[in-house]
Structure 1
């Protein structure tokens, strides 16, 4: 992911009001993030419970900011993240909903997804997978997982 400024980050949100955008608490260490290791920027708001944010690069190089609300209930069974699809998750997966942008969002329409609670997806897909068979190209599989995460996140952003 390319580095972005605070101004770009705040103006990228498509489903948040001006008040909600101004209330955004930036992630810890925003100025020193390792942008090369991120496929999207996602974080939970430390000041407002059950609120989270993600800024996703689109396929055409723009950024789409999404304001999420975490569901009150958690999945009954161990859920799989819809974005990174890691089967050996070291973290919890929760259901996040997001208002749609524009008139649909003002009418109360939302979309939802199961995502790693603290948005560790970029880290999860960069781990080398176990070799599935002799001669299995683990590096190619890792690169494919990174590309798939980018596509899934961008597709969700387009849905919003």
Structure 2
């Protein structure tokens, strides 16, 4: 992924108003991110633990989504799998919900996906972050194929949100 600036990220949000995009938390350490290992940029709001954000390049343009995560529930004690990168975690997967853009989102329409709670899918896929024992199942796919599958899963989610 190409490195993004705060201005580019804020301009890329499709499911919140420009005012909301201007006020939301964007990490200050963008220059320190491992951009070569990222297929998308994901982060949590430290002041609002139920808010998460992601930015990804789709068809040559950056698209950013504001997400809400579900509150803690009893199922989080069990092992769950991320729908994007297929990494399993004990308590490390959250249901993330993105409001649809425009009028549909204002009416409460949204799309959900089970996602790594720390939004570090690209690092799990590349083995740069450890999900613990049993976190990554052995596969015969190459790293490039795993990365492409992760991107395809994320692009499908973005398409469902923006449709």
What interval of TM-score do these two structures reach, taking the shorter chain for normalisation? 0.7 to 0.9
TM alignment of 1:22-101, pairs within 5 A: 22-58=22-58, 60-74=59-73, 76=75, 77-87=78-88, 89=89, 92-101=92-101
Residue pair 1:75, 1:94 contacting (<8 A) in 2 also: no
* Superposed CA offset, 1:51-110 (max 9, x none): 00000111x1111100001112436132100000024x4870011111001221111100
State the aligned residue count.
152
Identify unmatched segments of 5+ residues in structure 1. none
Q: 1:131 to 1:79 in 2, by over 3 A?
A: closer
Question: Relative to 1, partners in 2 of residues 1:96 and 1:75: Cα closer, same or farther, differing over 3 Å?
Answer: farther
Classify 1:62/1:86 alpha carbon distance in 2 versus 1 (closer, same or farther; 3 Å). same
Largest Rg, 1 or 2: 1
Q: Is this contact kept in 2: 1:42–1:53, CA < 8 A?
A: yes
State how far apart, in whole Å, the 2-side matches of 1:130 and 1:107 are: 40
Cα pair 1:91 1:116 within 8 Å, conserved: no
Q: Aligned residue for 2:111?
A: 111
Question: Residue deviations 1:11-55, cap 9 Å, x none?
Answer: 100001223211222225112212111000000001223000000
The CA distance in 2 between the partners of 1:90 and 1:124, in whole Å, is: 14
Question: Which shows bigger deviation, 98-107 or 66-75?
Answer: 66-75
CA contact (8 A) 1:74 1:94 kept: no
Q: TM-score scaled by structure 2? A: 0.84
What's the TM-score, normalizing by structure 1? 0.85
Calculate the aligned-residue CA RMSD, in Å. 2.1
CA contact (8 A) 1:75 1:95 kept: no
SS in 1 for 2:52: strand
Decide whether the 8 Å contact of 1:43 with 1:54 is kept in 2.
Answer: yes
